[in-house]
Homo-oligomer: A and B are copies of this chain.
Amino acid sequence: MTPTIGVFDSGFGGLTVLRALIERLPQASFAFLGDTARLPYGSKSRRTIARYAAQSAQFLVREQGAEFLVIACNTASALALDAIQDAVPVPVLGVIEPGAAAARAASHTGEVLVIATDATVQSHAYATACRAHGLRALEKACPLLVPLVEEGWCSLPDSDEAFAAQAVRRGGPPPQVAVTAEVVRIYLDELNAEAAEAGLKPDTLVLGCTHYPLLRSLIERTVPPGMTVIDSAEATAEAALALFNGQHEAEERSPSAQDPTEIRCFATDSVEKFERLGSRFLRRPTGKVELVDLGG
């Protein structure tokens, strides 16, 4: 029997974490829940977020049999990790601590930059986690990046091949991608100017939002030479792999490489949008997304 890993996000950005997990744990089954009816979490109180996240975690554990949970949502990781750990009897991993740990491993100057959503920045969860690792972090909210990714302006049309062909034909990227590149440049210029003003010498940039991995190549082309880009989705998958292999050591020694990965996706609303955009985050079809009702 393959173990089931539950992955939870308020939306479907967390599918980038699921993708990174699948690459590392092809022998596991996955149940992904996007609490899309109640997003965005970012504007809600800590108590409400904790209640929603605990309900979502209980669904994955009790109804989908998850033996291990990954909270692929920065807001829930920042504000509700304790509440989720109290609500379910299985190990729970968030995205923030692995991102900070990866920054610690990458940085030589001990000074790092973090880009994230407004809510994540306001929580200062990354700055706090980085400080615990002896790092100084400068955080910046980049509110336009999520809508640009959701509009698909990171690589148009949907497949990379078609995008590449179009770019060659036109002699450059499509204007939509050029807009996103310019937005990335403006945000990073502002952040680098703030860092210089504060006398910092950052050498590492943490992508503190599960939507941002879709912008990774644009971002890598924009950062100053020598700056390492940390994808917290990848960092979280690495941390999950280590924890999970510790838990399932006996089983892991004899994986059945023939077992296809089983992925079940659930959403509390917007199943259509989930199916349409989800495959872009997951880089494979999401399959049929099931609608679930977690109540108010």
Contact = CB atoms under 8 A, between A and B. Distances in A.
Interface of A: 36-37, 39, 43-44, 143-144, 147-148, 150-151, 153, 175-176, 178-179, 182-183, 186, 269-270, 296
Q: A148, A153, A175, A183 — which one has the most chain B CB atoms within 10 A of its CB?
A: A183
Contact of A144 (B43, B148, B182): B148
A144 B175 CA distance: 14
A17 to B, nearest CB: 22
Contacts of A39: 43
Contacts of A183: 179
A269 B182 CA distance: 32
A39 B43 CA distance: 9
Contact of A176 (B36, B44, B186): B186
Contacts of A44: 37, 269
Nearest to A118: B273
Given A143-B147, A144-B147, A144-B148, A182 B186 contact: no
A206 B37 CA distance: 29
A43 B179 contact: no
Contacts of A182: 175, 178-179, 182
A151 B182 CA distance: 15
Contacts of A176: 186
Contacts of A147: 143-144, 147
B43 A269 contact: yes
Nearest to A147: B147
Contacts of A153: 144
A95 B212 CA distance: 36
A158 to B, nearest CB: 16
Contacts of A175: 182, 186
Nearest to A39: B43
Nearest to A174: B186
A55 B39 CA distance: 21
Interface-centre pick from A39, A144, A186, A296 (highest chain B CB count, 10 A): A144
Given A144-B148, A182-B182, 19 more contacts: A36-B43, A37-B43, A39-B43, A43-B269, A43-B270, A44-B269, A143-B147, A143-B151, A144-B144, A144-B147, A144-B151, A144-B153, A147-B147, A175-B182, A175-B186, A176-B186, A178-B182, A179-B182, A179-B186
Contacts of A296: 296
A178 to B, nearest CB: 8
